[in-house]
Amino acid sequence: MTARVEHLVTSGTFSLDGQTFDVDNNVWILGDDSEVVVLDAPHDVDAIVEAVGGRTVVAILATHAHDDHVRQAPVLAERLGAPIWLHPADRELWALTHPGTAPTHDLTDGQVITVAGTDVHVLHTPGHSPGSVSFSVPELAVVFTGDTLFAGGPGATGRSFSDFPTIVESIRTRLLTLPPETVVHTGHGDSTTIGAEAPHLAEWIARGH
């Protein structure tokens, strides 16, 4: 059976640099009727477990380690019997939420994780955070960008651990080089396509944020 993308939205908070905001987070589940990966583990463990529905979870894949994306990762990993994968450049951020613990495995640029016979390619796309990654699935013409690329432009870079020139370079060299029909599934808000976003690169750079 061909892998498919499933989606749910969970609500909670995001905290960094002494400020807290209410946020809605996308959770993406990729797989078939037997096995899946879960992309990000934000606010509501029960909702994610229910969406998984008893299928084998090959991995919990973190797009980055801001608390609204990994807050429930250890609990979810225990509930689902699944390993947590995170890029090592975000370990410092992870430690702000889960001090004294560590993800199960390190993600590396170019790594391929297979679920339901479908290859998921890891793209290191820093900028929003040092260890931000995107997950490209060429077979399905989708990419999961976390908070690196949204409908309308780059993710936020106004807080600690982030950098605007870096995120623009990641988007320019790693994401906008994907086929234009590639659907972009984001960490918050609506999905978009590479083709819809690519023409606006110069505008984002001129805007500078």
Q: For residue range 144-196, what is the model confidence (pLDDT) as tens digits? A: 999 999 999 999 999 999 999 999 999 999 999 999 999 999 999 999 999 99
Catalogue the long-range contacts made by 74-81 (C-beta closer than 8 Å, 24 or more residues apart): 74/98, 74/101, 75/45, 76/38, 76/41, 76/45, 76/48, 76/49, 77/41, 77/104, 79/45, 79/49, 80/38, 80/49, 80/52, 81/57
- What is the pLDDT, as a whole number, of residue 2? 84
pTM: 0.98
Residue 137 pLDDT > 90, yes or no? yes
Q: Based on the number of CB atoms within 10 Å of its own CB, is 206 exposed (0-12), middle (13-18) or buried (19 or more)?
A: exposed
What is the average pLDDT across 101-110?
98
Question: Percent of the chain having pLDDT more than 70?
Answer: 99
Confidence category of residue 208, pLDDT binned at 50, 70, 90: confident
